[in-house]
């Protein structure tokens, strides 16, 4: 059974009845006969008052760990059938699914804890990337060109831009793939070209034991005009397996893309004045502000709110006022336009 997103549990009452039973037992207990002490002997008993326990304040919960690893490399990865198999995505720490022109989607992958040998196919950047990457700080960002308007916008971001059009250092064209789906990146060379990239700071992604409760969450699916994605819980692997456009998403290393946590972040999406080479306007996914969120992990789901007051602030994911901890492992974040149907089952 599935449920639509656009929406948690009563606590059991505590019953205490020991006091009544204790009084009843005392009133019916038989009298005890004491021997008479000799006349020359006297006894007395002094009872010490029972000390009142000093109330203690429980310590605040320990801060949950966030992303860890070395310098961050981010890259724009194609998400159409022509780009299969994608390269290195299975080793990413975080994967954003971002809407682009003509109802398609593109991946923005983040690597830090593990760097693959190669990544790709690398495609062009988008205006939304500035605000997404601002969560991470001055990180290396690999992409394959962009429109003049987008390049102007990206130049104002905090990230270090590494474009294939500007320099081929860190990139190659794969002879067994058709253009433009053949640009493959070398993470080691790209990080060196960036001249430094920061380790992940507080992005708002925190890992720890799941919140109590939740609802069934073994699957999630949504569709843009020309792109579909679904993720299904695989209990033995403890991962949500990724299917894109009806096909299992297999990485070049032979493993199916799989998420330990899926975040469905509903965002205000609007058309930019920017247009691609075909004259189609580019959508912008607004990741600063607030909106509805659903987080899936361990086969369960929690509905809540995401909020981010500024582009330099971490994104908070909360349910009932409590932070939603994520399961350890790869995180997929679906940036879904507000009003787009999402099925969770």
Contact in structure between 334 and 229 (CB atoms under 8 Å): yes
Write down the pLDDT at residue 62.
53
Place of tokens 């109330």: 55
pLDDT, one tens digit for every residue, the chain (345 residues): 444 444 333 333 332 232 323 333 333 333 333 333 434 334 344 444 455 444 444 444 456 899 999 999 999 999 999 999 999 999 999 999 999 999 999 999 999 999 999 999 999 999 999 999 999 999 999 999 999 999 999 999 999 999 998 789 999 999 999 999 999 999 999 999 999 999 999 999 999 999 999 999 999 999 999 999 999 999 999 999 999 999 999 999 999 999 999 999 999 999 998 887 778 899 999 999 999 999 999 999 999 999 999 999 999 999 999 999 999 999 999 999 999 999 999
Q: What residue ranges do the domains of the chain occupy?
A: 73-344
Write down the pLDDT at residue 34.
38
How big is the chain, counted in residues?
Answer: 345
Backbone angles phi, psi at 144, to 5 degrees: -110, 80
pTM above 0.85, yes or no: no
Contact in structure between 139 and 211 (CB atoms under 8 Å): no
User: How many angstroms separate the CA atoms of 292 and 125, rounded?
Assistant: 26
Omega into 82 within 30° of 0, i.e. cis? no
Give the tokens for residue 53.
Answer: 């326990």
User: How many angstroms separate the CA atoms of 94 and 262, rounded?
Assistant: 10
Contact in structure between 23 and 17 (CB atoms under 8 Å): no
Pick the closest to residue 99 from 331, 285, 327 (CA basis): 285
Place of tokens 């961050």: 72
CATH topology of domain 73-344: YerB-like fold (3.50.90)
Segments in the chain forming alpha helices (H) = 18-28, 129-134, 148-154, 187-194
């Amino acid at each position: 059974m599935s449920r639509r997103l656009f929406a948690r549990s009563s606590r059991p009452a505590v019953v205490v009845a020991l006091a009544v039973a204790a009084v009843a037992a005392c009133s019916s207990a038989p009298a005890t006969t004491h021997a008479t002490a000799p006349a020359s002997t006297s006894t007395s008993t002094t009872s010490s008052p029972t000390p009142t326990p000093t109330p203690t304040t429980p310590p605040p919960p320990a801060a949950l760990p966030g992303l860890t690893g070395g310098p961050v490399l981010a890259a724009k990865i194609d998400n159409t059938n022509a780009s299969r198999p994608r390269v290195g995505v299975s080793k990413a720490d975080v994967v954003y699914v971002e809407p682009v022109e003509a109802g398609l989607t593109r991946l923005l992958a983040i690597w830090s804890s593990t760097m693959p040998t190669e990544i790709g196919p690398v495609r062009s950047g988008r205006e939304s990337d500035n605000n997404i990457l601002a969560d991470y700080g001055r990180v290396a960002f690999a992409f394959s060109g962009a429109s003049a308007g987008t390049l102007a916008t990206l130049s104002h971001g905090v990230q270090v831009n590494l474009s294939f059009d500007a320099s081929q250092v860190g990139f190659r064209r794969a002879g067994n793939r058709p253009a433009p789906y053949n640009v493959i990146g070398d993470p080691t060379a790209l990080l060196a070209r960036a001249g430094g990239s920061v380790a992940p700071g507080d992005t708002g992604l925190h890992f720890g034991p799941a919140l109590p409760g939740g609802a069934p969450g073994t699957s999630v699916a949504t569709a843009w005009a020309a792109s579909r994605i679904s993720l299904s819980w695989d209990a033995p692997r403890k991962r949500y397996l990724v299917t894109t456009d009806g096909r299992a998403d297999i990485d070049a290393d032979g493993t199916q893309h799989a998420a330990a946590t899926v975040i469905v972040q509903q965002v205000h999406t609007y058309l930019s004045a920017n247009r691609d080479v075909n004259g189609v306007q580019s959508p912008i996914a607004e990741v600063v502000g607030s909106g509805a969120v659903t987080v899936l992990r361990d086969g369960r789901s929690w509905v809540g709110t995401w909020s981010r007051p500024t582009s330099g602030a971490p994104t908070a994911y909360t349910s009932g006022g409590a932070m939603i901890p994520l399961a350890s492992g790869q995180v997929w974040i679906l940036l879904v336009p507000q009003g787009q149907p999402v099925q969770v089952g």
